[in-house]
Structure formats: structure tokens, C-alpha cells
Amino acid sequence: MNELAYVLINPYIMYKSRTGGVISRLLSRSTKLQLIGARMFAPSQGLVDEYLNALKEDCKDGNANKIENLVCNYVEKRYAPSNDGSKRRVMFLLVEGENVLEELKTNVVGSIVRENIGETIRDTYGDYIEDEKGEVIYFEPAVIIPQTQKSAKKHIDIWMKYAEKDSGILENVAFSQNDDVQKTLVMIKPDTLAQSRTRAGAVIDIFAKTGLKIIAIKIIHMTVAQAMEFYGPVREFFINKFADKVGDKANEALSNAFEFDIPVETIEMVKEQLKVKNADNEFGKIVSFMTGCNPWTTPENEWPVASKETCIALVYQGENAIEKIRNQLGSTDPTKAAPATVRKEFGRDVMVNTAHASDSPENAEREMGILKIAENDLIEIIDKAK
């Protein structure tokens, strides 16, 4: 029987841009777990207090052991707003699977007191350092997870209670209102998630080189309707881009079919009649790739239905975010992309090219709106999973 649990990527791990590595291990250390939802939080004092009380209540007989006390103290100090009122970024990941907590504890997250080197999330990104007297002088658990299924449900309910005001696109958390910054959308495409359970995290790690901050995340199952709107401008581009190729193909086909020269005006007429049809065919391939559904054979009443293809949408913020992300992404054609860019490392061709990134602030806003990045879908996901 599948169960739900959560993984919280701590503010320090977010600050140090270790998020991609954590996600890689989360997805690859166990094939039994599925990442079904994600959202960025900037916890208020109210959320921290209520979550902290729940953590304390979970301690056996009300008496916390050393590790449990460390976790509670960590949440109290590292999750709460700073003295100046500024909030911290926490990534909330919702996972589902059989014996999900046992998988997380044993194979994925690991023990707070390091047992191995470089295997689990905490092996790699956590720290637990004692002095010669056995006193803990440095503690970083990397992520926080629940200890029981009962506590998982209780904790998830608390985070969802505060989701409306404490989560979403964290506009003024990583940067102040006065900073000259941009937002941009990155969408990690279905091929990336289908081909390798480590690749999505590796892509996030490459984007971390930009120094930009992640301020939103969402798991996307794009509908045909969303894909049609999202890639709508591409269709118009295809009509003009491929018009001459349509004419050339028509000329070649007709010339091979007849033993006389085909009049130029005939080729032009055929080109005009087929260029839209050809563009629609190419456009349909993109929609099919992103959703698994051919839009021209899928009934329109099914266009709003979420597809089975999975994407991860992220919003990055910072100075010159559009340019920095697109430079790190690389050319649409992976064979022409610069070394060490996302598409050079992982892309295959102009369609199967790992990720999408907005090309302007205006398109970033348009695309975030189409994907409804600001809307909290976790409550609906949780209800469906029950």
C-alpha cells in the first residue's frame, strides 16, 4: 500500500545551491519512491511554531533524545524568520511509495549520525560534529523528514494550513523589493525525467552555476490545452520558417512525378496551401512530446486532462536571470551548444533537448501563468493520494 511523506530541503542547503544533489539522491536511491508534488515555502513564525510543537509532541513519552532535540533546535533557529524579519527558503517535496518512511530513512535520507560516505542525502550533505567531550559543535541535517506515518500526516496538514500565505513564488525572499532582478521559468522536460532518475538533479546543479536563486517549484503534468497555449508562438514561427522547405519538397516531389518542368506559380500555390498544414504537423510533434498526446487526434474535451508525462518547473530569480539561464541552457540544437551547458551535456536533438527556458521577462510571466506556478496543487494531490 502506498503512503505519503514529505522531505524538507533545509534553508542552508538551498542557500549553498545543493538542491540538485539532494533531488538526484531522492529520485535515484530508491525506485520505490515517486516525487508527486513540490512547492517553495518561506515559513512564517506561526508555521515554524506549529511545526515545532508537532515535532516535540512526536517524541516518545514527551522526552526527546539527543538527536530529536537537535532537530527541534535546528528548526527553531534555522526555519524561523531572521531577527530583521527576512524569511528563509524551504523546499517542500511530497513523495509517495510503498513503505515510504522506511525507504527514506534507510536508503535515501540516511542517519543523522553519518554511517557511510557519499551514499545517502545526509552522508553527502549533512554534518554532525562532536568535540572531544561528545558535545555537538556543528549540526546540519540537510533535510527534515517525519519519523512515523502518523506524524507525516499531521506535519503535512500543518504545512498545507500555511501554504496560502507562506508558499508559492517567493518574490521578495531571496532578494529585496529594491533589487534590480528578473524572474525566469525553467521547465525540465519529460525526456530528462524518463531517461535517468539522477538527471533532473544534475540539470539543477548546472543551473546553480548562475548564482540565481530558486523561488518556486512545481511538478507539472502538462495538459494538451496548456501545451497548445505554451508553445502557440512556435506554431506561427514554424509557418514562416518552414515555408521555403515546403516549396522545395513540393518541387522535388512533383518534378519526380512528371517529365516536365513544374511552373513556379504552381510550386508557390502548393507551398501556400501546405505551409500551415506542415507547421501544424511539426507543432503537433512538440505537443505530443510534452504530453504524450497528439493534439490533432485527441478529442478537444480531453485537452484539459493532465497528462502522464512529468516535468519539473522552476522559477529562478536574480540579476539578468533570463540571459544567465539561457546561456547555461545552451543552443536549441545540442550539437551546436557550448561545452558544459545543459543541452550539450544531456540534449539529443532540437526537440529532445532536456529543458526549456523563457526568452524574455514577458514570456516568463506568460509561461508561469499558463502552468499556474503560483497556484498550490498539493492539497488536491494529497486528497487524490488518500
**Active-site residue set:** 356
What whole-number distance in Å separates Cα of residue 173 and Cα of residue 162?
16
Residue with cell 498550490: 376
Per-residue cell: 54: 508537532
- Amino acid sitting at position 324: K
Q: Are 239 and 275 in contact (CB under 8 A)?
A: yes
CB of 42 closer than 8 Å to CB of 82:
no
Q: How many CB atoms lie within 10 A of CB 321?
A: 26
Chain centroid offset of residue 378 CA: 14
In which order are the strands placed within the sheet that holds 355-357? 213-220, 311-318, 182-188, 355-357
Q: Specify whether the CB–CB gap between 9 and 22 falls below 8 A.
A: yes
What 3 state SS string does 180-198 have?
CCEEEEEEECHHHHHHCCC
What residues contact residue 313 under an 8 Å CB cut-off, 6+ apart? 185, 186, 187, 188, 216, 217, 218, 219, 220, 371, 373
Cα torsion angle, 63, 68, 74, 75, sign: negative
Handedness of CA 307, 8, 44, 57 (dihedral sign): positive
Q: If you search the block for the grid coordinates 535515484, which residue do you land on?
A: 28
